[in-house]
Structure 1
Amino acid sequence: MEGGGGEQALSADNVRGIVLALISSGFIGGSFIIKKKGLRRAAAASGIGAGVGGHSYLLEPLWWVGMITMIVGEIANFVAYAFAPAVLVTPLGALSIIVSAVLAHFILKERLQALGVLGCVMCITGSMVIVIHAPQEQEIASVKEIWKLATQPSFLLYVALVIVMVSVLMFHFSPLWGQSNVLIYTAICSLMGSLSVMSVKALGTSLKLTFEGTNQLVYPETWFFVLVVSTCVLTQMNYLNKALDTFNTAIVSPIYYVMFTTLTILASIIMFKDWSGQSLGSITSEICGLIVVLSGTILLHVTKDYERIPQSKSIYAPLSPSLTTRLTGELLDHVEDGRASDEEKVLRRQEMF
């Protein structure tokens, strides 16, 4: 497979990263449907849906199968970052939305509208363009090399800008306009997410080298990346839940996906020099492919049946360890109209992004 600018064929590591990202999307997309089926069974058996305070789904084996499936998918995505650049792995996360939408159409009988089909086609097309023109993954022999990349002036400048912007958003804008402007909370999540993915990639590479026989756990840099991942995850969880609790999910989800993916790719380009040595044609193709994927994802989100779901009161959306752009949390405690059945309420409250 040749890049548009004459680059060499995809490396073995890139192929492994692509395969793992695709497996991840398949498992995560499928987990949404399995968990919904489990919620349906639990609501039917107990008569109390999760959205009205019921927890009977915790005793439903099918729901746990869905959770395990999701965890397997997230592990695969985590490992994918150790093999392939973020500019390749991150956009492929959109394919999980396609898997979920298609399976929901056939299994849950949730109608996939014409624009939704177009969104699927756009995501697939854009992903293929990105894969064809993807940069090669750098050969890294030690976490010390990653530390050197992380401490280069250009990336330190990016980190400093992120910290300043997040601080201003958290301590100045959030108290004033956080409850009225969706961009405040989503920007904090996206900015911190770009740093967390870089740390996840560094940590994943360290573990990969360790499993290959070169122990990286003896270096303090490895544990520093663990600390950064933990800090970023906690911050993202906090402000993503604030965003989902305050605004309609149909607004939060596409905005978060676009901002998170764009900033993550930008951070990867700065830190890992993903575009170094690539031709202008290949870089342009990757940008176009990314725009097509983002546009397709937005179409998939806006064509979902959100019009019957009012603004939520309480939504729990824990981020996955691999910090992909997918919102894999469960949406609970929506305010529903009295005409809907408990089963319909559960399914709508568990709408996945």
Structure 2
Amino acid sequence: MKGMSMDNIRGLILAVSSSVFIGSSFIIKKQGLKKAGSSGPRAGQGGHSYLYEPWWWAGMITMIIGEIANFAAYAYAPAILVTPLGALSIIFSAVLAHFILKERLHIFGMLGCALCVVGSTTIVLHAPKERHIESVKQVSHLATEPGFLVYFWVVLAVVAVLIFRYVPRYGQTHLVVYIGICSLMGSLTVMGVKAVGIALKLSFGGMNQFKYFETWIFTIIVIFCCLLQINYLNKALDTFNTAVVCPVYYVMFTTFTIIASIIMFKDWNSQGGTEITTELCGFITILAGTFLLHKTKDMGKSSSGRLPVYTSPEPNTVSESR
């Protein structure tokens, strides 16, 4: 194990704090969506009555605080270190959902939480050091290399197909449709957030980066992607069980973000095969934990013993199992 740099330690502290706030926000927002759904059209059916619900706004504020901490973490540490720590928000939200929303967390769910912690620890101990960047123009150069440009346009094309073709048909019954949109756009959001975070860090250090148009382009990309994510995450939370939304979102978001980071920032170029393999094992351990959390969410509720994979109850049925 190599020693962690001070920047990585700062990023670690910020990422853990972020997970606590974000994990709590899922539960608070869910409460707001449930209250709004009892007096108007549900968000999953296109309603926006949750905008008048104080609980939903409390959840949004909590999430914003968490995202600010996460934003700062990306300025100090590589995405391969920061993003997998989102597993801690899964644990926190699953435990809160167990006690507050009565979405039971069984023994295998607890084992899943433990696996998430082990996997996260493994990645933290073997994560690459942050790449030294002296200007936002350097980030812009990385973002316009052929490899990342291909990734960028493929993501936009897939998201467009999901929104215009699959959301109307399968959005209410297949979680991966909503979460796929959030996760793909989220990977672009993180790359933009990292660029803006680096610009802020350098600007506070005396090198103004906001005189470059590239900084503002990255800022616009972040705002657009965030708004799209919030919209479809609300639909997912209102339609499906919170204990399922959080881990599935985490798995897909983390996977796409790590892929985007490897392509754009070339995080693995400075590491050997052993370190990369260890990080992959840590990530697979986290995936196993989230899989357990998902597969056991309905344990004890169904007499048939069958557990749904990525689907919600029938579209016209509203029940506590959601």
TM bin, normalised by shorter chain, reads 0.7 to 0.9
Query: Which stretches in structure 2 are left out of the alignment for 5+ residues?
Result: 41-49, 303-311
Supply the distance in 2 between the matched residues of 1:75 and 1:171 (Cα, whole angstroms): 31
Unpaired runs of at least 5, structure 1: 3-7, 40-47, 314-333, 337-344
Deviation at 1:135, TM superposition (A): 0.7
Which residue does 1:153 correspond to in 2? 146
Q: Is the 8 A contact 2:94 2:243 kept in 1?
A: no
Q: Is the 8 A contact 1:253 1:301 kept in 2?
A: no
Q: Per the alignment, in what secondary structure is the counterpart of residue 209 of structure 2?
A: coil
1:247·1:312 contact (CA, 8 Å) conserved in 2? no
TM-score w.r.t. the length of structure 2 is: 0.79
Q: CA deviation at 1:232?
A: 1.6
**Distance (whole Å) between structure 1 residues aligned to residue 315 and residue 6 of structure 2:** 45
Quick check: 1:15 aligned with 2:9?
Answer: yes
> Which amino acid in structure 2 is aligned with residue 335 of structure 1?
V
Percent identical among aligned pairs is 59
Cα shift at 1:112:
3.5
Partner deviation per Cα, 1:220-262 (whole Å, 9 max, x = no partner): 0011011111222233334444555666666655433322211
Q: Which secondary structure state, in structure 2, belongs to the residue aligned with residue 94 of structure 1? A: helix
Q: 1:53 aligns with which of 39, 48, 55?
A: 39
Residue 288 of structure 2 corresponds to which residue in structure 1?
A: 295
Which of 191, 214, 230 is the aligned partner of 1:221? 214
2:146 partner letter = P
Matched, 1:126 2:119: yes
Q: 1:31 to 1:160 in 2, by over 3 A?
A: closer
Partner of 1:335: 318
Q: Write out per-residue CA displacement over residues 268-325 of structure 1, whole angstroms, 9 at most, x where no aligned residue.
A: 0000111012111111111111111122123234434695995677xxxxxxxxxxxx
Return 133-142 or 67-76, whichever deviates more: 67-76
Residue of structure 1 in register with 2:204 after alignment: 211
TM-score of the aligned structures, taking structure 1 as reference length: 0.72
Question: Which moves more between the two structures, 78-87 or 238-247?
Answer: 238-247
Name the CA distance, whole Å, in 2 between partners of 1:10 and 1:32.
Answer: 31
Which one has a larger percent helix, Structure 1 or Structure 2? Answer: 2
Distance in 2, Cα, partners of 1:78 & 1:226:
12
Superposed, which structure 2 residues align to 1:85-96 within 5 Å?
Answer: 85-96=78-89
Number of the residue aligned with 1:265: 258
Length, aligned pairs only? 301
The alpha-carbon distance between structure 1 residues 311 and 140, as it changes in their structure 2 partners (threshold 3 A), is farther
Q: What is the RMSD of the two structures over their aligned residues, measured on CA atoms?
A: 3.5
Task: Rate the CA distance shift 1:239–1:29 in 2: closer, same or farther, 3 A.
Answer: closer
Structure 1 position 98 matched with structure 2 position 81: no
Alignment of 1:186-197 (within 5 A): 186-197=179-190
